[in-house]
Amino acid sequence: MILEKLLKSTFFPLPFPTKIDILKEEHIRMEGTYHMKQFKNPVLPGFNADPSIIRVDDTYYIANSTFEWFPGVRLHESKDMIHWNLLPSPLSTTTLLDMKGNPSSGGIWAPDLSYADGKFWLVYTDVKVTEGTFKDMVNYVTTAEDIRGPWSDPIRINGVGFDASLFHDEDGRKYLVQQTWDHREYHHAFRGITLTEFDTETMKLKPETARNIYNGTDVKLVEGPHLYKINGYYYLFAAQGGTVYTHQEVVARSRTLDELSFETEPDGPFITNFDTPYLGIQKQGHGALVETPGGEWYYASLCGRPWTHENESCIDPRGYCTLGRETAIQKVYWDEDGWPRIEGGHGGSVYVDAPADGIETDAPADHSLHDDFEEAKLHDEWNTLRVPFTDDMGTVGGGKLVLRGQGSLCNTHELSLVAKRWQAFYFDASVKVSYQPYSYQQMAGLTNYYNDKHWSFAFVTWNEKNGRVIEVGECNRGNYTSFLRDDAIPVPEGADVWLRTKVRKESYTYEYSFDGTNYEEIPVTLDAAVLSDDYVLQSYGGFFTGAFVGMACVDYAYFDTQAEFSCFDYRELGDVRKDDGTFAWE
C-alpha cells in the first residue's frame, strides 16, 4: 500500500533521469586549481559502503565499511572530489582488528573518520553477532598523526550500539554519538541515538553523561549518526529505513545537546531513492557532510546500482546490486530556514557539479589490476577474510602467490582466499594455476565470492575417473552443486591450467586454457544476482557487502597441499553493453 501511494503521488515523476550532454573530461585550469563541469556517481564504485567524509586543508578523505574483509576500513583521498586514490587500510594488524570466527557481514560497520587536535581519529565497530535478538559488538578508537599511519593501539570504548561517531565540539569537548541497541523483544531494537561525553584525558567515556538525543521518525531503524555544529545549531544527520531500497537520511537540529532536544527537518527526508526507482543510483542515505574551502557543501552517501532480470519489474523487486553498496556524492544547499537540502531534489543526481576550487588529482582511469606477484607483500587492492595474510595462509613474491590449502569456502575460521572487489558490471579476470591434488577434498582455482553461503568456484581437483580435472561448483543459500561431475575436464599430465571468468552484469561464466592463449568456455552460466545483498536478503537477514573475485586453495583434509598462482589479470570492460555487443563506460 505504501509503495502504491508513492507511485501515485505528484512528486514521483520529478526525478525521472534525462541524458545530460557533458564533456566529462573537459576542464579549466586556473592558478593551480582544477575544475571539471560535472562528475558521475558513484565516485567510489564497487563495495565501498557507509562513507565517512572529511576535509583536512585541501584534501578530502573517505573511510568505508569493510565488514568481515581484512584489512579493516577502506580509505581514499582526493583533492578534487572526483578522482580518488586508495590509501593503506588503517586496521592492518590483529592488534587493531581480530575477526577470526566473525559471521559474514559482521566485523567493521560504519567507521567514523574525523580530524582534531592535529591528528586523525578513527572510531570503528567490530560486530560479533549479526543474526537474532542480540548485536554483540565492541566500539574502538584509534588515532594517527598521518592518515597512512601508524595507528595507535585500539582503545575499547563501549558496546552500546553500532555506527558510532566522534563529535569534536567548539568548546573542546568530545562526544560519542551512536545507534543504541535494545534486545528486549517488546521494544524496537533500534533505541534511538545516544550521546555520551568522551574524556580525552582518560580516553574513556563518561557513562553518567549518556542521554538519548533523538528517536528518529516513524520510518524507524534510526542509525548512522553524525553530528555537526553549524551557525549556532547542532545538526544531526542519521539514516533510517534500513540499508535497502527504503533507505533514507534525515536531518534534525537543536541549539543544545539536551535529551530529546532535536527537531526533525520539515519536508524531508534529506535524501532517499524510495520514490525515484528510475534513477541510476538507489539506496542513498547513510553518509556524512563536508564543506569545501570555498564554502560549498557536499554529502557523501552509500548507494547501489541495481539491475533486473528481463522478466522482472524494475520497481518490485527493484533489482540486484552485485557491485554492493557504493559511494556517491551529492551537492548540498541551505534553504532560507537553515536546513540542508540536496540540489535537484531528495533523490539526488547521477551527474553532479564538482567543487569549483578542486585541485587536480591524478588517479587510475579504472580499477583494472594486473599482478605478477613480484613484491613480497600483497597489493592494497587484495583482501582476505577475517584475518591478515600470513604464512599460515601462504606466501607471495618472486612471481607467484602460493596458497596453502585450508578449509572450504564455507569456513569462517581457516580459509586461504585472496580476492578483490567487483568494481564494474563487465570485466574479465584470469589467473594461472599450478596444482597437484590427489583427492577430491583438495581444490584450487578462481572464485567469485559473496559470503560463506553464496559463491562459485572454478577449480583444479582430482576424481577417481580421470585423476586431475577441472570442476565448477556453486554454493547458493548454503546448498552446493557440482556442475560437471563425471564430465569434469581432464588436465593433461604435467600441464598448468589458466582459468578465466567473464562477468557480464546479469550472468557470468568460466573458461579454461592449457596454454594461456586458447580458452574453452565451460558450459555453465551462473546468475550474478546470487552474489548480491538483495538476493541474500530474500532468505537471510542483515547482509551488506558485495561480490569479489579472487583465488582460493582448499584442502579440508588438512594435508597442506599448496597451489601456485601467477599472472593474475582483472580487466574492466565498462558498465554498459552497447548495441554492437561491446562494452563502454556510460
Nearest-10 Cα torsion for 202, 203, 206, 211 = 160
Contacts of 520 (CB under 8 A, 6+ apart): 511, 512, 513
> Rounded CA gap, 460 and 436, in Å?
8
CB 128: neighbour CB atoms within 10 A?
17
Burial category of 482 from C-beta neighbours within 10 Å (exposed 0-12, middle 13-18, buried 19 and up): middle
- Least Cα distance to 51 among 302, 375, 412 occurs for 302
Q: Is 50 a catalytic residue?
A: yes
Cell 573537459 -> residue: 26
411 within 8 A of 455, measured Cβ to Cβ: no
Amino acid letter for position 374: E
- Catalytic one among 50, 265, 428, 474? 50
> Rounded CA gap, 299 and 31, in Å?
27
**Helix and strand element counts for the chain (H, E):** 2, 45
Q: All 3 cell numbers of residue 363?
A: 588517479
Q: Is 223 a catalytic residue?
A: yes
Structure letter (DSSP) for residue 531: G
- Least Cα distance to 563 among 370, 369, 373, 368 occurs for 373
CA distances from 379 to 46, 149, 389, 527 (A): 17, 17, 11, 29
Nearest-10 Cα torsion for 421, 584, 283, 419 = 0
Q: All 3 cell numbers of residue 569?
A: 589479470
- Catalytic one among 223, 296, 326, 564? 223
Residues taking part in catalysis? 50, 223
